[in-house]
Amino acid sequence: MTDQHPHVVVLGGGYAGTMAANRLQQHTNIDITLVNPREEFVHRLRLHQFAAGTGIATAEYAPMLGKRVRLVVDSAVRIDAPARMIRLESGDVLDYDYLIYAIGSTDSTAAGVPGLSEFAYPLSEFESAQRLRVALETSGPDVQITVVGAGLTGIEMASELADLGGTSGWCAADNWRPRLGRPHAGPSRSGSPDAGWTYWRTRR
């Protein structure tokens, strides 16, 4: 907290957090801090293009953030609401008057589906999309790919793969059930249809 101006901390530098921090600049009497674990902005809506090698999914924060937004590259590990304090992974502490929690969503499907974490590549995070990109670049011509997910992410991922000339299949989550021991088993009905999970196995 500052003596002169209220201090607003925004946790999460995605679409919502970045927009919130920039719009807060309309109020000239507040200090704004944006906390994000990455130095670059991740376009989550473009992760399918990045995974397929047809586009990029990151951008520099400098031209995106307003001049009055201070970017802190770190991760929050503890929020002490009564004390209005955030402890960061680096050991630093941020005091705040107001907190905006905008860390986004993550896919938790893997916890309930056997084999999913070993054989699937979710498209909800940059790191998993990066692993998928490497796997696609190093796979042979006989690889079979199945995209599981009936939302926009799954459809766009399947379209990118089809444009690359590979062999791919698409399956809606409603019609997919996990099968133990199968590398290409997909999420159960409880999984999000927007998950955009990608599986593959080598054709035999």
**Residue ending a domain, choose from 74, 101, 128:** 101
Q: Is residue 33 part of a domain?
A: yes
Q: Is 157 exposed, middle or buried (0-12, 13-18, 19+ CB in 10 A)?
A: buried
**Residue ending a domain, choose from 101, 118, 152:** 101
> Containing domain of residue 55, as a range?
7-101
Tell me the per-residue pLDDT of 121-165, one tens digit each, with 9 for 90 and over: 888 889 889 998 998 888 876 777 888 776 888 888 888 888 876
Q: Is residue 146 part of a domain?
A: yes
Tell me the per-residue pLDDT of 86-128, one tens digit each, with 9 for 90 and over: 999 999 999 999 999 999 877 666 567 777 777 788 888 898 8
| Same domain assignment for residues 16 and 86 | yes
**Domains: count for the chain:** 2
Q: Is residue 153 part of a domain?
A: yes
Residue labelled with tokens 């979710």: 122
* CATH code of the domain in which 13 resides: 3.50.50.60
φ, ψ for residue 180 (rounded to 5)? -60, 140
| Same domain assignment for residues 117 and 77 | no
| Same domain assignment for residues 83 and 115 | no
Of 54-68, 90-104, 113-127, 185-199, the least confident? 185-199
| Same domain assignment for residues 114 and 197 | yes
| Amino acid letter, residue 127 | E
